[in-house]
Amino acid sequence: MYCGECGAKNKKDARFCEECGKPLEAVDEKVSKAETSNSKGRRPRPVKKAPVEKKPMSKKAKVGIIIGVIVAVIVVAFIVIGNMLTDPKKIATEYFEAITSYDADKMYAYLDVKESDFANKKIFKKIVDRQLKETKNVPKVTNYKVTSTEKSSSGLVMYVKINYTMEGSTEDKIQTIELTKDKNKKFLFFDNWKIAMTDVETVEDFELSVMKDSTVTLEGVKVDKKYIDKEESDDSIDVYKLPSLFPLEYEMQVALPLGFTLEDELDAGRYSKSQTVSLDEENIPEAEQKKIADKAKQDLLTLYKSAITNKSWDEIKSGFEYKDADLDDLKEAYEDLKEDLNSSSSTKLTQIEYKDLELRSVDINDDGFLSMYVYAKYNYTVSYEEDGQTKTKSKSTTDGMYLTYDYKENAYRLVDASSLQTYFSRYF
């Protein structure tokens, strides 16, 4: 067998050329001899193989390679970014930055709440921004550093410890942030760590009791009447059952059917899941207190002047009547006053003038009336007989008494007056 590369003769069954070492291919022996004879005893020229022509890569193949590279890059980027976004240290750090800067938008992102008319991002931001505004000279965090991370034995809780310093202080403070692992994966593949927000879980079915027919507004949102629990309410009280409240202090306005609005706070962060809006001398607006006090002075003056002149109830009742009025209690109080003032033969009240009147306590009774204790400063004059002569004396003093008002036709209507002062002494 002759070598197709160098022409050397080799054994018939050889696989490689003994001369040049190239692989041997079967060569037609006649052709080989002919070539040998034509070469006059010289070695035949090597038979050169024709070069193999390489075909150009198809467009489809190129697109496939590009797509493969892009997919590989996306997968790597997905893994890198996914690990970064789900890193417990990153989550804890971002949460720490949010709470120390009072960033309501970022803080809300960590809350896992059941949203309602009264628990949503807009209301949360209003409450946080107001608290920040009301808190003066809040020191700022000047620097911080994650110093350690520790996983619980179950692997379901992560503790991230952050050391930080505050303005005006050189002492390190420590904040340990707890994260819990959610059973659902983040982006289908990564551990889903969440801030453990046990201290701000929403309060469900909070009961708010207000005077019947009042209008309640929480953080500027009017509370719909659909939230009234009819089974818990009665003839004088409406009980609202509010779904999903933040455990924070809400700014609340209660427009009473008495003609004025109370400014109050709903504190859903208390241990109790209920609150009653009650009247007192502190939460009634000053202008309304003056309006009530002026009306009380006018009514007391009418009662006393009428009793001094011994007028009957029928003569004065028109000044107190109104539609659907029940004045039986007021009638009884007036007749008792008139009897007591005219029972003494030695001293008679002849004049009274109220100078000042202060509301000491205010409440809503079971009938839905405004019940109050007032403390009045007044001047009075009495006449008496002495040595056969009629003499008079005047004095300034103070006394307290109870008055009850209904609010109808945009006005306060006196319906009862008890413990009215009936003793006026000339001995002072």
Residue closest to 223 by CA, chosen among 205, 240, 203: 240
Kindly report, residue by residue over 42-65, the tens digit of the pLDDT.
555 555 555 656 667 777 777 888
Instruction: Tell how far CA 374 is from the center of its chain.
Output: 38
Q: What is the DSSP string of 48-74?
A: PPPPPPPPPPPHHHHHHHHHHHHHHHH
Tokens of 167: 């303005």
Per-residue confidence (pLDDT) for residue 26, from 0 to 100 = 56
Q: Please state whether the predicted TM-score (pTM) of the whole model is above 0.75.
A: no
| Alpha-carbon span 221 to 216, nearest angstrom | 9
Per-residue confidence (pLDDT) for residue 46, from 0 to 100 = 57
SS3 279: coil
CATH of 286-418, one of 3.10.450.240, 3.30.70.20, 2.60.40.420, 3.40.50.970: 3.10.450.240
Kindly report, residue by residue over 64-123, the tens digit of the pLDDT.
888 888 888 887 887 778 777 788 888 889 888 888 888 888 888 877 777 889 999 999
Distance of CA 54 to CAs 48, 51, 227, 386, Å?
A: 18, 9, 81, 145
Domain boundaries, the chain: 1-50, 62-100+138-198, 103-134+202-277, 286-418
Per-position pLDDT tens, the chain of length 428: 778 777 778 877 777 787 787 787 654 454 444 454 454 455 555 555 556 566 677 777 778 888 888 888 887 887 778 777 788 888 889 888 888 888 888 888 877 777 889 999 999 999 988 888 877 677 788 899 999 999 999 989 999 999 999 888 888 999 898 888 888 888 788 888 888 765 567 888 999 999 889 999 999 999 999 999 999 998 888 999 998 898 889 999 999 888 888 888 999 876 789 999 888 777 888 888 899 999 999 999 999 999 999 999 999 999 999 999 999 999 999 999 999 998 877 789 999 999 999 998 888 887 878 899 999 999 999 999 888 889 999 999 999 999 999 988 889 999 999 889 988 888 76
| Alpha-carbon span 107 to 269, nearest angstrom | 18
| Alpha-carbon span 105 to 43, nearest angstrom | 92
At position 172, the amino acid (one-letter code) is D
Q: Across the chain, how many H-helices and E-strands are there?
A: 8, 15
Burial call 56-92: b when 16+ CB within 10 Å, e when fewer: eeeeeeeeeeeeeeeeeeeeeeeeeebeeebebbebb
| Alpha-carbon span 142 to 140, nearest angstrom | 6
Per-residue confidence (pLDDT) for residue 42, from 0 to 100 = 54
Orientation of helix 328-341 relative to helix 286-308, angle to 10°: 50
Q: What is the DSSP string of 157-171?
A: EEEEEEEEEETT--S
Per-residue confidence (pLDDT) for residue 302, from 0 to 100 = 96
Angle at Cα 80 formed by Cα 94 and Cα 143, nearest 5°?
25
Per-residue confidence (pLDDT) for residue 44, from 0 to 100 = 56
| Alpha-carbon span 336 to 339, nearest angstrom | 5
CATH top-level class for 103-134+202-277?
mainly beta
Per-residue confidence (pLDDT) for residue 206, from 0 to 100 = 94
**What residues are paired with 357 via a beta bridge?**
376
Residue 100 contacts by C-beta under 8 Å, 6 or more apart in sequence?
A: 140, 141, 144, 164
